[in-house]
Structure 1
């Protein structure tokens, strides 16, 4: 099976006009969401530390660190923007694989586009193809690859970044095969890192490594021609199960980005049904924390596997605590970045209610479903069944929802006027003659 060659051939030969309008529209939504997350996350401590560590060793100032005034070489800018876009855990999600598709790809090619002029039409096409590569490879090895501990956004994302960058560089088929091979040999990221700064490092590194892979391949740097399918290649080494048809069948007929979803809550996607149910109960019954005796959750097993942290100590850990998330959903009626700050995780009222949350796993519950039962001190029992969480494919976020989310993230960094201008540029990306204007608009005024 020539899986790698088939995928490379498709990326190299696929024309922009072969992509349906609805797919391009979803790609625009995906990019807009990514930009809001990258700008919004740019002032997080994780980004501060990474920038301080990297700056002394960075090359020429070629590309912007979004949401900030610093400029770095394109490789390090891709790394920083990938970190920034994921640090809030607020970015897009391909639900079938739990890949966050945009981070590795957009971070790589927007940095690159500031050195090599790219039209909005070509940029969006490369972005779509990168997501296709990333998610199809993810489909081929999920869930076994994820179950043994790999963070699939990092491991699959590096392929997408390489493919998208390679498309913009105009790589031929052999060069694209090499780019995928160079990307694959750098594929990494462990789920053990969830709740730490390293989780957002994964898509940043995938962006940087994929961008490097494409540039190395352009110069004739070789790799195996069978990185995906070889017995000692990606799928066999990094997964206990694999289905290569998921990579090659229907290329150009269906597009994974059409299945992308967007988070209304700044935490692990599997917690979203619980937050949704708790917020609904809070609003329907005017619930107060001090009148609650107990909160019982019936959830998909993956919820406890990924987000079973009962006593988070910092905000990043709170994003992987279903207990903390249920508590702030009841107390605050929301779960944005403020609800996952270090101070909120340690707040005595939140801790008290968090200790009253009990969760059990059920194999009959879907990943975007849950049952929430709240028992009050007066004996009343309130129940809510969330069949599909808000933000899922069944209950998608509208364009207006994405606008509001973007403003909430970008306004505090850029100011409302500048954020609105950036938002409008993102919505109209296909009309741009040079997408570098997006990076310029994403930098605060001096």
Structure 2
């Protein structure tokens, strides 16, 4: 049978393409099923943010909101004269707009955007602020810094302020839940990436945004994630919550004037969650919204350092005080820890106080030497104390299966051969062993000492406890500046 040229070409083409087509179809068939369309979580969040009110908040949630605010104000005052804050004030003052808002513990005033940033920096520089243990977000900093700056321009009742604070914390923590731990493990500083959502939610609510404007505010916040874990141990770490506060406030201000965004910036295929994480669990955002509050899982630090080091400090202080162990008698300190402990706090030879906040070696050593874990124990002085330097070389952390990130198993061996052991299941300051109101007050007083006179510090503390009764929440800032 004869074939013309066109037939030959066609037959050859069919022979060449058919296997490729078949392979393509096979590959297509083997692909995993497409993900179901996500719920409109950006809109769902916007609706809930606007529907919340002080009266709808459970009493326990209100109370925890007040405790969170008190703790945040204390650490902001305490950190207000750290070198990092001095640098930020000096750098930004020539470029500040109208002096609309104050800075805790200082005399300077800034425009609200820079005030939000600087108060966010000062409240995080000690790494002593609150921690949502499920995500390791420090939620109050971005939220409170933003709305207290806004309160410098417009009177806000204490009840409205507290509702907005709770809403902002809930928003950022739920979004964090949806992407943690994959997002954090990739190297993002989750306080800086989720913080803008909380700040936008809280500021937008107080500005009276419409539902559509709130959707836009959340979208603009999604476009401004900030912070990488490589910055831990440097001034840059405190930059992240400060920038998150300013970014969220910026988003709300723009949205209030009609600056638009996508309606699905959190959940869309090329939106925030899918771009920034390999995990997206939308139920973490939507389930129990308005009935179950993440602020109930917020914790307050008794020690001024990375949260995963707290069990080690707790154990060291117990052995030091209860078993009367002297640092000079210690031969070695063996620690069984979770992998995250060494990943986050594995600095073996810190040179500065900021680096010491991320050194499990320093944390254990200084706790034995000084019997405490406050800001003084994470200063440049403490990190370079010869006694601490010598002892941290005897600290031997080992990653151990079965040990949770919130636990430690410590064995101390003395030069005479005696051993002492502690297993910390729940460190002080955890959800299971929370700091009491009196402990929070003592922490506040210690942080404010040397920054504000005692009488002024007590006045600020009382205003924090009385937040729901205040006619103007801005009174807290006005009372907390130097010279008030």
Q: Does 1:41 align with 2:55?
A: no
Instruction: Give the structure 1 partner of residue 33 of structure 2.
Output: none
Residue 365 (structure 1) aligned to one of 403, 406, 411:
403
Q: CA deviation at 1:15?
A: 2.5
Q: Does 1:437 align with 2:475?
A: yes
Instruction: Give the structure 2 partner of residue 217 of structure 1.
Output: 255
**Is the CA contact (8 Å cut-off) linking 2:75 and 2:122 kept in structure 1?**
yes
Q: Write out the 4+ residue segments of structure 1 that deviate beyond 3 Å after TM superposition.
A: none
Residue 241 (structure 1) aligned to one of 251, 262, 279:
279
Give runs of aligned pairs for residues 152-301 of structure 1, distance below 5 A: 152-301=190-339
Q: CA deviation at 1:411?
A: 2.4
Instruction: Give the structure 1 partner of residue 31 of structure 2.
Output: none
Q: Does 1:84 align with 2:122?
A: yes
**Is the CA contact (8 Å cut-off) linking 2:53 and 2:160 kept in structure 1?**
no
Q: Secondary structure in 2 aligned to 1:42?
A: coil
Q: Secondary structure in 1 aligned to 2:187?
A: coil
Q: Secondary structure in 2 aligned to 1:413?
A: coil
Q: Secondary structure in 2 aligned to 1:175?
A: helix
Residue 407 (structure 1) aligned to one of 436, 439, 445:
445
Residue 100 (structure 2) aligned to one of 33, 40, 62:
62
Distance 1:387 1:9 in 2: 39
Q: Count matched residues.
A: 446
Q: Does 1:10 align with 2:44?
A: no
Residue 328 (structure 1) aligned to one of 332, 348, 366:
366
Q: CA deviation at 1:445?
A: 1.6
- Structure 1 residues 179-238: Cα deviation after superposition (integer angstroms, max 9, x where no partner): 001111001210010000010110000000000100000000011111110111111010
**Is the CA contact (8 Å cut-off) linking 2:146 and 2:203 kept in structure 1?**
yes
Distance 2:422 2:291 in 1: 39
Q: Structure 1: state its 5+ residue gaps.
A: none
Q: Does 1:422 align with 2:450?
A: no
Q: Does 1:392 align with 2:409?
A: no
The alignment yields a C-alpha RMSD, in angstroms, of 0.8
Q: Secondary structure in 1 aligned to 2:450?
A: helix
Distance 2:211 2:283 in 1: 20
**Is the CA contact (8 Å cut-off) linking 2:52 and 2:163 kept in structure 1?**
no
Distance 2:328 2:41 in 1: 58
Q: Secondary structure in 2 aligned to 1:412?
A: coil
Distance 1:417 1:4 in 2: 45
Q: CA deviation at 1:254?
A: 0.8
Q: Secondary structure in 2 aligned to 1:391?
A: coil
Greater Rg over alpha carbons, structure: 2
Q: Does 1:381 align with 2:419?
A: yes
Distance 1:114 1:292 in 2: 53
Q: Which TM-score applies when normalising by structure 2?
A: 0.91
Q: CA deviation at 1:311?
A: 0.5
Distance 1:213 1:250 in 2: 26
Q: Structure 2: state its 5+ residue gaps.
A: 1-38
Q: Which TM-score applies when normalising by structure 1?
A: 0.99
Instruction: Give the structure 1 partner of residue 138 of structure 2.
Output: 100
